[in-house]
Structure 1
Amino acid sequence: MPRDDATRLSALYDAHAAPVWRYVVHLTGDRAAADDVVQETLLRAWRTPRILEQDPASTRSWMFTVARHLVIDDARSAHRRREIAVAETPDVATSDLTDALFEAILVEEALATLSADHRTVIVRAYYGGLAIAEIAAELDIPPGTVKSRLHYGLRALRLALQEKGVTR
């Protein structure tokens, strides 16, 4: 491996390996599998020169997406399905919550980028299920202000998610 490639790979590892590893452990609960996924993710990034030329935030977003796909591919693989051995068949089938977990993490990170005022009305409206009038009364602000904050907050949230590569 040429010296320049070794330097770039080392810088890529230093900047992104730990967050990607924590993310994969969060998804899978398996530290050993996380090591393998991080290694494969770094290898794919190194093999994709355009990724190394992007800004660090875009590179990290790309790496999180690749890691997520590797986790999903592993979970869906026939190899993985044959390895699961249980004494008794479970009564209730459990669904794979990987997608929901990933989406929750992305939304949480995007909400954190908003101003406190915008975040407050969005959380109360969408997660709290409150109407405009209820939010206005609770925050002691006019309903028009709630509507405005909700509009501009959702707009900022959409932009934050676009920056993470979630929406167009």
Structure 2
Amino acid sequence: MKDDHIALLRALHDGHAAALWRYALRLTGDQQLAEDIVQEALLRAWRHPEVLEQGSSASKAWLYAVARNYAIDERRSARARWEVDSESLPERSRADHTDSTLDAWLVADALSTLKPEHRLVIVRAYYRGESIAELADALEVPQGTVKSRLHYGLRALRLALQENGVTGRS
């Protein structure tokens, strides 16, 4: 039964979609809206299988009525009343880097309060992207020591940020 339904809808689309699009285009003057109207009319036909079984001419009349009503509804919608067409795109806003600059200052201030060995591993791991193994080789310490310094350094950094009034973000 579902395969019959799909076959009837496909036949309805193949037989009427192009003409229905031209009709919708004449109603609206907007190619994209005309495509939306055709899609909506066919979707409604899919939801009402009794329309598909009425025969080609009855289905065609039903599709055109749906298209007309949908076009009228779109014209009456608040979106149509308040939407403004423009030939050019609005000017792009420039990014405001104030927040990121302030965050960088807060983090730099908090980093300056850390022990040098903690600050060094945090900066090299998080800002330079060095791995634990790379840090261990460069600093000539075991990897466990690097991990420990990162752990305690991040803990101290979090406390320093909290003392400066910075709270955790979700």
TM-score, length of structure 1 as denominator length: 0.47
With a CA cutoff of 8 Å and minimum separation of 6, indicate the structure with the bigger relative contact order.
Answer: 1
